[in-house]
Amino acid sequence: MIKVKNNYQNHREYWKSKEYLEKLFGRNVNIKSSMVQNFLNTIDGIPKSEKYTIAAYGSLLNISDIFRTMPTADNFRAGIIRGYTRIFNIGRLGQGCYLNIQPSDYINKLTCNFIDISYEDLPEYILREGYYNIEILDPSDYIDSISGNVNNPVLTVVGDQSIINQSIGIEPQLNYVHLCLTGMKDVAGWRGVQEILNETICYSNRENKYITLKEWLKSMDLAQYLVTNNYSSR
């Protein structure tokens, strides 16, 4: 087998090689499978760059969890993306719902963790966000809290509709909610925490409708959770 050189000049060719796909998906990977083909199509849709910025709003708010899949990640800072709202509607029965964003005319801005990664970590980012589609943000759709703009592509993820369709009537899991809240506190302080509590929506089985995350916590008799973590008084 001819090995493809792995460097920036040849990285796209290398990522499509059997050598790399076996490394990424395992030795028994079917190169023609929909999983691999979706991965390759996603790669083709992302412009080449030595560095990418990720606008993260879910588990990647938690800095300690980032390096598990993206060891080159650095320069964590708060940023804003426009035109979206945060919603728990990605998941399956028995797993709980995870955060997603969807276009919205009502909430104009959403605080994210802006993370810079090397091109080397892009495939792992794509695999990590398997329930989501990668979106390339237009410069008019985001603000970097440090520089106001970013010279490299800014990526975020929007949930795949087929997964969303399976998530109707599924509530969040508290451990995941806590991970996001504590991560947001580190990224954007108490203002960011309040944004998640008051502007994020999730399904409530008790109310039989979508309500804010703060209302959901109270409806689940978790008001003490808010007090214990000092969230309710901020």
What is the Cα–Cα distance from 99 to 166, expressed in whole angstroms?
14
CB 110 within 8 A of CB 145: no
Radius of gyration, alpha carbons of the chain: 19
Question: What domains can you pick out in the chain, each with its CATH number?
Answer: 1-45 (no CATH), 50-228 (3.10.490.10)
What is the Cα–Cα distance from 44 to 41, expressed in whole angstroms?
5
Q: Residue 232: which pLDDT band, with cuts at 50, 70 and 90?
A: low
pLDDT tens by residue, 85-101: 999 999 877 788 999 99
Q: 133 by DSSP, 3-state: which? A: strand
CA nearest neighbour of 179 among 70, 64, 36: 64
pLDDT tens by residue, 101-146: 998 877 678 999 999 999 999 999 999 998 899 999 999 899 987 6
Contacts of 177 (CB under 8 A, 6+ apart): 213, 217
